C-alpha cells in the first residue's frame, strides 16, 4: 500500500476532525508499523513560536490492547545538520496524561495548536535538548485515537510501531538496524516502561540500546487509590475516563456512578492535564458511586484489570535507567522501588537513581541531562554502569549535570527565540 501524502497548511485540526488520521481502505491487512499517510508539519513552542527543524507526521498501523489492528501517529523531528552523523533515533514518549486529543503530541506540538495545559507543550524543550545532541526524535501518540490514559501494554505496541514506521520512512534513509533509545518521564516514563517490556516479544528485530524512564509510576492502581481525594484527583479521574473506553467491566461498574460523577468524568475527557488538575481537586470516588469504591475494586474483572496495570510483570530486554524522587507527591517511591525489584528479579539490568531533595517537576528538569548522557553512552556502546540502586541528596551533584543544565538552558532560550536547534 502506497502511503498518501497530506499537506494542509494553516490552523491544525483536532485529530478526530483531521482527515489525515483516517486510514485508507484495506489498512488492516498491512503489517504493524506500516506507513499509511505522511505529511510535513511545522512545530512551534506552545503552538506560537515556530521552530526551524524539519518535522513529519506518519499515520501508521499498530495494535490495540486486545491485539486488534489500530492506527496512530508519530511525529518525527530531525535537527539541522544531522547529515553525516551516526544515525541514532530516540523514541520520546511524552507524558500525554489526558484523554482529550488536545494533549496528543501530533496536535499539541504543531504551530497554531490550542492546547493550553497540555504537557507535550512543555516537553517540547526536552525534545529540543534531544535534537541538540543530533538525534532523530520520534514522538508517538501512544494513547491512540481513543486517548486511553493508563492502559497496559498498548503504549508499548504503539511506540514500537512508531519506531518501525520511523525506520521505514524513506525520507530519512535509515537502516533497519539503526540504534534506538527510549525516553520518557512520569506518564511518559510509564509508556517508556511498557515499550521496554513489550519490545522483546512484540518487536525483537529492533536495535534498542537502552531505556531511560523517569518517575515511571510503577503501580498505577496504587497511584489511583493514593491520589483519590487529593489535590491531584483529576489525574486518576482521567485514568478512569480513559480505561472505561476499553474495559467493559469498568464501564459497567461506572454505570452505577452518581449523576455528578458521570458529569465530572465527561468533563475530564475534554480537559488538558493541567486543566483537569485545576478543575477536579479533592474529587473522592468513594462518594460518587452508589456502592463503596472498595466493593467496585473487588469485582473479579476489575481486580484483573488493576493487576494488568502493574509494571514489572514483563522483562525488558535492554538496559534501563530509572530515576525517581523520594519525596514525590504524585508517584510513590515505594511503587517505583517495586517496579525495579520486579525487573531485577527477572534478570533485567537496571541502574536506579533516587533523589532526596527534588520533587516530581524539578526532577524532570534536573535529571534530564544525566538521562540523556546515559543514553549517549548506550548509543556509543560504552560499558554499562552496575545494576545498582543509589540514593543521592540531589542529582545536581552528579558529574555533568550542571553543565548539562546550562546546555539545556541555551536550547530553551534558542527555542523561545524561534531560532530552533542548530545541532
Do residue 74 and residue 190 come from a single domain?
yes
**Domain, as residue range, for 132:** 4-211+314-416
Do residue 195 and residue 246 come from a single domain?
no
The pLDDT confidence band at residue 1, using thresholds 50, 70 and 90, is low
Average pLDDT over every residue of 20-42: 97
Task: Give one word for 186, left, alpha or beta, with left for phi > 0 and alpha for psi -120 to 50.
Answer: left
Q: Tell whether 25 is covered by a domain.
A: yes
Q: Tell whether 90 is covered by a domain.
A: yes
Do residue 250 and residue 292 come from a single domain?
yes
Average pLDDT over every residue of 386-414: 96
Contact call for residues 376 and 340 (beta carbons, < 8 A): no
Q: Tell whether 264 is covered by a domain.
A: yes
Do residue 390 and residue 360 come from a single domain?
yes
Residue pLDDT, tens place only, 283-292: 887 777 777 7
Q: What's residue 249's pLDDT? A: 86
Q: What's residue 6's pLDDT? A: 64
Residue pLDDT, tens place only, 234-275: 998 898 889 988 888 888 888 778 888 888 888 999 999 999
Residue pLDDT, tens place only, 283-318: 887 777 777 777 777 888 888 988 999 999 999 999
Do residue 295 and residue 322 come from a single domain?
no
Do residue 206 and residue 73 come from a single domain?
yes
Q: In degrees, to the nearest 5, what angle opens at C-alpha 417 toward C-alphas 416 and 422?
A: 95
Q: What's residue 4's pLDDT? A: 60
Q: Tell whether 423 is covered by a domain.
A: no
CATH number of residue 395's parent domain: 3.40.50.1820
Task: Name the pairing type of β-strands 389-392 and 350-355.
Answer: parallel
Q: Tell whether 422 is covered by a domain.
A: no
For the chain, percent of residues with pLDDT exceeding 70: 95
Q: Output the nine-digit C-alpha cell for 319.
A: 538496559
Distance in angstroms (rounded) separating the CA atoms of residues 415 and 422 = 10
Cβ neighbours of residue 8 closer than 8 Å, sequence gap 6 or more: 18, 20, 39
Do residue 160 and residue 14 come from a single domain?
yes
Distance in angstroms (rounded) separating the CA atoms of residues 316 and 198 = 7
Do residue 68 and residue 181 come from a single domain?
yes
Do residue 387 and residue 262 come from a single domain?
no
Nearest of 178, 214, 179, 208 to residue 196 by alpha carbon: 208
Do residue 182 and residue 237 come from a single domain?
no
Residue 303 CB neighbour total at 10 angstroms = 13
Do residue 162 and residue 284 come from a single domain?
no
Distance in angstroms (rounded) separating the CA atoms of residues 236 and 250 = 14
CATH number of residue 270's parent domain: 1.10.260.130
> Which among 285, 308, 331 is the end of a domain?
308
Do residue 355 and residue 237 come from a single domain?
no
Residue with cell 489526558: 98
> Which among 281, 308, 335 is the end of a domain?
308
Residue pLDDT, tens place only, 339-359: 999 999 999 999 999 999 999
Q: Tell whether 120 is covered by a domain.
A: yes
Q: What's residue 252's pLDDT? A: 85
Number of structural domains (the chain) is 2
Q: Tell whether 421 is covered by a domain.
A: no
Q: Tell whether 91 is covered by a domain.
A: yes
Residue 229 CB neighbour total at 10 angstroms = 16
> Which among 308, 332, 359 is the end of a domain?
308
Amino acid at each position: 500500500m502506497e502511503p498518501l501524502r497530506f499537506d494542509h497548511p494553516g490552523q491544525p485540526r483536532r485529530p478526530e476532525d483531521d482527515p489525515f488520521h483516517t486510514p485508507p481502505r484495506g489498512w488492516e491487512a498491512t503489517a504493524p508499523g506500516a506507513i499509511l499517510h505522511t505529511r510535513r508539519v511545522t512545530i512551534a513552542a506552545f503552538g506560537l513560536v515556530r521552530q526551524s527543524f524539519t518535522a513529519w507526521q506518519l499515520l501508521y498501523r499498530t495494535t490495540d490492547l486486545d491485539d486488534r489492528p489500530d492506527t496512530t501517529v508519530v511525529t518525527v523531528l530531525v535537527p539541522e545538520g544531522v547529515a553525516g552523523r551516526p544515525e541514532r533515533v530516540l523514541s520520546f514518549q511524552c507524558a500525554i496524561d489526558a484523554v482529550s486529543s488536545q494533549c496528543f503530541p501530533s496536535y499539541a506540538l504543531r504551530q497554531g495548536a490550542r492546547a493550553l495545559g497540555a504537557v507535550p507543550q512543555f516537553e517540547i524543550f526536552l525534545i529540543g535538548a534531544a535534537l541538540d545532541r543530533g538525534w532523530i526524535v520520534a514522538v508517538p501518540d501512544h494513547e491512540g485515537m481513543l486517548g486511553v490514559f493508563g492502559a497496559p501494554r498498548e503504549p508499548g505496541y504503539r511506540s514500537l510501531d512508531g519506531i518501525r514506521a520511523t525506520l521505514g520512512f524513506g525520507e530519512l534513509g535509515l537502516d533497519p538496524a539503526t540504534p534506538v533509545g527510549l525516553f520518557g518521564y512520569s506518564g511518559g516514563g510509564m509508556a517508556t516502561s511498557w515499550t521496554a517490556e513489550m519490545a522483546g516479544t512484540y518487536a525483537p528485530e529492533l536495535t534498542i540500546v537502552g531505556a531511560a524512564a523517569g518517575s515511571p509510576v510503577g503501580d498505577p492502581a496504587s497511584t489511583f487509590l493514593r491520589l483519590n481525594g487529593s489535590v491531584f484527583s483529576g489525574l486518576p479521574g482521567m485514568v478512569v475516563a480513559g480505561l472505561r473506553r476499553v474495559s467493559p467491566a469498568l464501564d459497567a461498574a461506572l454505570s452505577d456512578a452518581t449523576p455528578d460523577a458521570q458529569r465530572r468524568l465527561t468533563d475530564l475527557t475534554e480537559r488538558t492535564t493541567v486543566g483537569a488538575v485545576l478543575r477536579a481537586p479533592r474529587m473522592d470516588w468513594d462518594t460518587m458511586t452508589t456502592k463503596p469504591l472498595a466493593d467496585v475494586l473487588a469485582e473479579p474483572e476489575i481486580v484483573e484489570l488493576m493487576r494488568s496495570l502493574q509494571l514489572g510483570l514483563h522483562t525488558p530486554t535492554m538496559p534501563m535507567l530509572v530515576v525517581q524522587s523520594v519525596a514525590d507527591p504524585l508517584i510513590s517511591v515505594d511503587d517505583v522501588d517495586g517496579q525495579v525489584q520486579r525487573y531485577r528479579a527477572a534478570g533485567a539490568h537496571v541502574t536506579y537513581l533516587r533523589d532526596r531533595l527534588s520533587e516530581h517537576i524539578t526532577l524532570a528538569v534536573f535529571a534530564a541531562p544525566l538521562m540523556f548522557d546515559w543514553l549517549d553512552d548506550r548509543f556509543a556502546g560504552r560499558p554499562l554502569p552496575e545494576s545498582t540502586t543509589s540514593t543521592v541528596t540531589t542529582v545536581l551533584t552528579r558529574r555533568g549535570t550542571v553543565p548539562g543544565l546550562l546546555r539545556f538552558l541555551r536550547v530553551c532560550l534558542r527555542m523561545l527565540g524561534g531560532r530552533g536547534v542548530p545541532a
